[in-house]
Structure 1
Amino acid sequence: MASLINSTTGSMPNKALTPMFNGRPDPVLQDAMKKVTPQQITKAKATATDFESMFLNSMFSQMTTGLKGEGPYGDTVGTGAWRSMLTDEYSKNFAKSGGVGISNEVFRSLILQQANKS
């Protein structure tokens, strides 16, 4: 599934006429996006991507906690700080390039909530 909010060309994949949700056109989201400002859409995209990045960072941290040995995950004094910075950068890059789909769901929820307030 293509990421709605992380594509380089805007908020929707090039070939989509309407935003997609779970692989299907989402007219509810399309209507909601008409009710919010472009600034709100931009802020919702950033918030959703940041949320996914935090989730991925937590996952990557748990995955690498018990690793011992040589190399970047070795068991030395400075490894802990370095490992946390590495997992933080991994999670940001994963989220920016489409992530695992959490940001799409968060973005949709944020836009629908904001549209209902208007």
Structure 2
Amino acid sequence: MTPMAPSVDMLRGAPSPTALSGADAARIRQTAQDFEATFLAQMLRPMFEGLSTEVPFGGGHAEETWRGFMIDEMGKQISRAGGIGLADQVMAGMIRMQSGQAIVPSEGDAA
């Protein structure tokens, strides 16, 4: 046992049951999907920054005002349609953390 072991054990908290109720699983899924939607919106945002809002095809000040909301909705829609797999990874990590299992990075993960 190392001197750090008690500190690490305190950080883990009490282990939760590994079986999640349907409501818990749905809440975790929704949180993971919301995270993925936010991530996707942040990745889409630079694509729209350089677009002109000048007439005849731009929406002017209204487009500038509402563009952020449109991008957020695009991220949500992509996530709802299956996303990029980030929500699944986040959900698996959240379940592992709640069940008290150690999260060990795989070979492909950056150190």
TM class, shorter-length: 0.5 to 0.7
| Matched letter for residue 103 of structure 1 | A
Deviation at 1:38, TM superposition (A): 1.9
Q: Which amino acid aligns with 1:35?
A: A
**Aligned residue identity for 1:47:** T
Give 1:45's aligned amino acid: R
1:87 matched residue in structure 2: 71
Alpha carbons 1:61, 1:87 under 8 Å: kept: yes
Counterpart mapping for 1:1-118 below 5 A = 35-68=19-52, 71=57, 74=58, 76-116=60-100
Instruction: Give the Cα separation in 1 of the matches to 2:45 and 2:99.
Output: 35
Partners of 2:17 and 2:80 in 1: CA distance:
21
1-structure distance, mates of 2:19, 2:37:
27
| Farther off after superposition, 77-86 or 107-116 | 77-86
Number of positions where the alignment pairs a residue of Structure 1 with one of Structure 2: 84
TM-score (norm 1): 0.62
| Residue 40 (structure 1) shift | 1.6
TM-score by length of 2: 0.66
RMSD over aligned CA atoms reads 2.3
* Structure 1 unmatched runs, 5+: 1-31
Return the alpha-carbon distance in structure 1 between the equivalents of residues 85 and 17 of structure 2. Answer: 19
Query: Which residues of structure 2 form unaligned runs of 5+?
Result: 1-15, 102-111
Q: What is the CA distance between 1:34 and its match in structure 2? A: 5.0
Larger radius of gyration: 2
TM-superposition CA deviations, 1:19-40 (whole Å, max 9, x none): xxxxxxxxxxxxx995222222
Q: Aligned AA for 1:104?
A: D
